[in-house]
Amino acid sequence: MLTIGELSRATGVKIPTIRYYEQMGLMAAAERSGGNQRRYEPQDRDRLSFIKHARDLGFTIEAIRELLELSAHPERPCADADTIAIRQLQIVRNKIAKLRPLEKELERIAACCHGDSIRDCYVLQSLANHDMCVSEH
C-alpha cells in the first residue's frame, strides 16, 4: 500500500497530476484510508508508469486511455495499438516538419541584422514582410 506521495516519488508524476489523472478516468478512483486519504496498490504504480512513459512520448490523454483499454483485453489483436503508435509518430514528424522551416527563417532573421537602430532592424523588417522569407511556413 502506497500513499499518493510515495506513488509520486516512485513514478515521477506530481501529486496534483495523479489526482488529475484520476479525475480524467485514466487512473481508477483509489481506495481510501479511514481518514479519506488515497492508498495505492503496486499495480497502480505500473499503470501510472505506463501513463507517464506514454505522456513523455507525447501521446495525448485520449490516446493513452485507448491504449489502456486495449491492454485490458490480452486476447484481441494488437492492430489498434500499433495504429495509435504510428499515428503518434506521424504527429511528431509533423511537428518537426513544421518547426524546421521556422528554424531556418529565424536563423536568417537573427543572423542578418547588422543595423543599430530600430528603423533599420532586419528582424523587424522581416517580421513585417513575409516576402523576405525563403520558405512558406
Is 125 among the residues that bind DNA (CB under 7 A)?
no
**In the range 19-58, which residues lie near DNA by CB under 7 A?**
19-20, 30, 33-38, 55
Site for a second copy in 3-62 (CB under 8 A): 46, 49-50, 53-54, 56-58
Asked if 22 and 29 touch (Cβ cutoff 8 Å), the reply is: yes
| Residue selected from 42, 46, 57, 60 as contacting DNA according to rule CB under 7 A | 60
Residue 24 to residue 129: CA distance in whole angstroms: 44
What residue has cell string 486495449?
Answer: 70
Closer residue to a second copy in complex, CB, 29/79: 79
Contact with a second copy (CB under 8 A) among 1, 24, 89, 134: 89
Residue 119 grid coordinates: 528603423
In what order do the strands lie in the sheet containing 38-40? 2-3, 38-40, 31-32
| Residue with Cβ nearer a second copy (15 or 70) | 70
Q: Residue 13: exposed, middle, or buried by beta-carbon count in 10 A (0-12, 13-18, 19+)? A: buried
Using CB under 7 A as the binding rule, whether residue 5 contacts DNA is answered as: yes
